[in-house]
Amino acid sequence: MGQIRQAILQEAIQGKLTADWREQHPDVEPASELLKRIAAEKAELVRQKKIRKQKPLPEIKPDEIPFDIPESWQWRRLLDLIYEKPRNGYSAKPVSYPTNTITLKLGATTGVFLASETKYINESIPEDSYLWLKPGDVLIQRSNSLDYVGVSAIFPGCSHPVIYPDLMMKLQPCNGCNVNYFHIFLNSPFCRDYFRANAKGAQKSMPKINQGTVCSAYVALPPLAEQQEIVRRVESKFTLCDALEAEIAAAEQHAEHLSTAILLEVFDQQE
């Protein structure tokens, strides 16, 4: 079923999942207009000194485009779609007793967010530190095995304040970038292959991706309305996958019980 989910994600980021939707909505504002608003918002935030001015990355050339996308979409580097460059977290020695500072474990962000994967540290973090997470922040594992390096999750919020560790990066998508679509793209086969191909490090068991790799990633950006429709359709198909997986597991369990019952009956007949 994992291969089916991956196929769904890949079709989603190529526009294949919403081909019929585009035919039914021909007048949707194209992503080019959305990008103008994103650029204007970031320029204003730079003027107000709320974010740092970013050095632009090279434009994506036509011969560098990895696959075709609909005409209303746009290819952009990830840096163009986030407010600031990703920042690493902070790791401190964990303690076995409750403190006022809770941090995530690496296992909290393996594709979905797991709020139970936390630990205490005995350090005080300033209230205005960037380390404190906000709902909607996207966390990317910058170091892990090749199966997990670059995997992301959305922080939905917790009942208590939480910071994130050094082995993760945090980024914030701009207005106009649906955070759930962002997450779909980051976990798509295309993006996962990109992160794996660019992971480096002395420890082969824990390769790393750096800030430059994440910022330079290609993103296929649909119009905002289509982003929302893609999210809806992916979630619907994943719900169906969940149901099918549950049915298969129940059938396998029933078959196992049936086999055991048949064996017991055979043994009883032999006695």
Mean pLDDT by 10 residues, the chain (271 residues): 88 97 96 97 96 92 95 97 96 92 93 92 94 96 91 90 95 95 96 94 80 96 97 94 78 64 55 55
Tokens of 137: 């922040």
pLDDT at 262: 59
Query: What percent of the chain is helix, strand and coil (3-state, nearest 5)?
Result: 45, 15, 45
Residues 72, 22: contact at Cβ < 8 Å? yes
Residues 208, 146: contact at Cβ < 8 Å? no
Determine the residue type at 239: T
CA distances from 205 to 3, 148, 211 (A): 24, 11, 20
Rounded to a whole number of angstroms, the CA Rg of the chain reads 22
Question: pTM of the predicted model, to two decimals?
Answer: 0.86
> Could you give the maximum distance between any two Cα atoms of the chain, in Å?
88
pLDDT at 181: 97
Tokens of 38: 């994103």
Question: Where are the chain's structural domains?
Answer: 32-220
pLDDT at 246: 79
DSSP of 63-78, one letter per residue?
A: GG--S---TT-EEEEG
The domain 32-220 is placed in CATH, from the list 3.40.50.300, 3.90.220.20, 3.40.50.720, 3.20.20.60, at 3.90.220.20
pLDDT at 252: 67
